Amino acid sequence: MNKIILDTDPGIDDAMAIFTAMAHPKIDLLGLTTTFGNVSVEQATQNALTLVEMAGLDIPVAKGVETPWVKDLNPFPDFVHGADGFGNLNLAAPKTQPITASAAQFIVDQVNANPGEISLVAVGPLGNLAAALQIDPSISAKVKQVVLMGGVIAADGNVSPVAEANILSDPHAADRVMAAPWPVVIVGLDVTHQVVLNNALFAKIAKENAKVGQFMADASKFYIKFYSSIRDIDGCYAHDVSAVAYVVEPDIFGTIEGEVCVATEGVAIGQTIMSRFDIPYPLTFWSGRPKQKACMQVDSKRLIELFETSMTSDYWK
């Protein structure tokens, strides 16, 4: 069993990742921690609670950071996820509440209670993980791995020519996470832009999953409309669910490794730069940093199968 904490800014593709984590037989979802990103942290927390209620579960939701660590807050991308984060479906408010512990404190407590067992799966800006390291730096030795949807090594960015949205939203936090002595796996645009989820898939999910399928299909229409309008694809990218997939089937992906720095200012702000070669560069930014992994290849068919199976399995009956 893979114990995970999912750090998230729901978000349409975040919902795909959350439902996949709930349903996958090899995942034990310990809790959701929320962050600003696609929407405000208030809205993200409401949305996380809504998804938990929709699934009929009792999973803790801990509210996290509301602004970036250092830089100013970017406007929320309502043209990607809708003003409510779910494609402007404007669902009723959830009945349940977040727990009293902050997201960072929840992460620290869970990691200390389960040393060596927890994968932190982060699919939003990385402020909660940076805050958890601030509270208790010793968690870096007790986390199994940090798997994050964010960044891009060799492909194009999606919010600048070199930057991915989650990393650009809080580059200082992201750099702190890359520098910590814990194993990080970057599941970024190098792979997520290779996998397209189409309307036919969501129609099947709506038909076979009476609990959350129709919601997932309805929200995805907005997301697919956005992506179809800016890219030459008939569908949306499988961003956040790819990080969940890595936890249970890492061999879906091919990886490289090296020390990683995040640019925190200037024209390249938000760029995730990996030093892959043992060359004594004159600049010392990378020295002393641990080698981290980044996914560069993906078996698209297997990834889509994993998502489809999780969303249509008997778990939802």
- Binding residue for ligand BDR (CB under 6 A) from 2, 6, 7, 14? 14
Alpha-carbon span 131 to 23, nearest angstrom: 29
Q: Which is nearer to Ca ion, 123 or 311 (CB)?
A: 123
Q: Per rule CB under 6 A, is residue 13 in the interface with ligand BDR?
A: yes
- Torsion region of 275: left, alpha or beta (phi above 0 gives left; psi -120 to 50 gives alpha): beta
Alpha-carbon span 160 to 271, nearest angstrom: 9
C-alpha distance from residue 148 to each of 16, 95, 101 (Å): 15, 30, 22
Alpha-carbon span 158 to 151, nearest angstrom: 9
Q: Which residue has 């970036």 as its token pair?
A: 68
Closest residue to ligand BDR, based on beta-carbon distance: 165
| Least spacing, CB of residue 151 vs ligand BDR, in Å | 9
Choice among 9, 170, 175, 190 that is catalytic: 9
Q: Which is nearer to ligand BDR, 240 or 259 (CB)?
A: 240
Choice among 13, 190, 239, 240 that is catalytic: 239
C-alpha distance from residue 12 to each of 31, 55, 80 (Å): 18, 15, 9
End-to-end CA distance of the chain: 22
- Binding residue for Ca ion (CB under 5 A) from 5, 11, 102, 105? 11
Provide the token pair at 128: 């909660």
Q: Which of residues 110-169 bind ligand BDR (CB under 6 A)?
A: 123-124, 149, 158, 164-166
Active site residue 9: yes
Which ranges constitute the DSSP H helices of 185-317? 189-192, 199-208, 213-230, 239-248, 300-312
Q: Which is nearer to Ca ion, 140 or 158 (CB)?
A: 158
| Least spacing, CB of residue 265 vs Ca ion, in Å | 24
- Binding residue for Ca ion (CB under 5 A) from 55, 61, 104, 123? 123
Alpha-carbon span 78 to 73, nearest angstrom: 14
Q: Per rule CB under 5 A, is residue 196 in the interface with Ca ion?
A: no
The pattern of x and - marking residues 28 through 67 that bind ligand BDR according to CB under 6 A reads: ----------x-----------------------------
Alpha-carbon span 134 to 98, nearest angstrom: 22
Q: Which is nearer to ligand BDR, 105 or 242 (CB)?
A: 242
Q: Per rule CB under 5 A, is residue 14 in the interface with Ca ion?
A: yes
The pattern of x and - marking residues 244 through 273 that bind ligand BDR according to CB under 6 A reads: ------------------------------
List all residues 6 or more positions away from 225 whose beta carbon is below 8 Å from its beta carbon.
Answer: none
- The helix-helix angle for 127-135 and 103-113 (nearest 10°) equals 60
The pattern of x and - marking residues 166 through 195 that bind ligand BDR according to CB under 6 A reads: x-----------------------------
Q: Per rule CB under 5 A, is residue 18 in the interface with Ca ion?
A: no
Q: Which of residues 213-242 bind ligand BDR (CB under 6 A)?
A: 239-240
Distance of CA 280 to the CA centre of its chain: 33
Please state whether the peptide bond connecting residue 11 to the residue before it is cis, i.e. omega within 30 degrees of 0.
yes
From the list Ca ion, ligand BDR, none, pick the one residue 170 interacts with, judged by a Cβ distance below 5 to 8 Å according to partner type: none
| Least spacing, CB of residue 9 vs Ca ion, in Å | 5
C-alpha distance from residue 287 to each of 85, 170, 231, 275, 290 (Å): 39, 22, 38, 10, 9
Provide the token pair at 172: 């200082």
> For binding to ligand BDR (CB under 6 A), which residues are involved?
11, 13-14, 38, 80, 123-124, 149, 158, 164-166, 239-240
The catalytic residues are 9, 239
> For binding to Ca ion (CB under 5 A), which residues are involved?
9, 11, 14, 123-124, 240
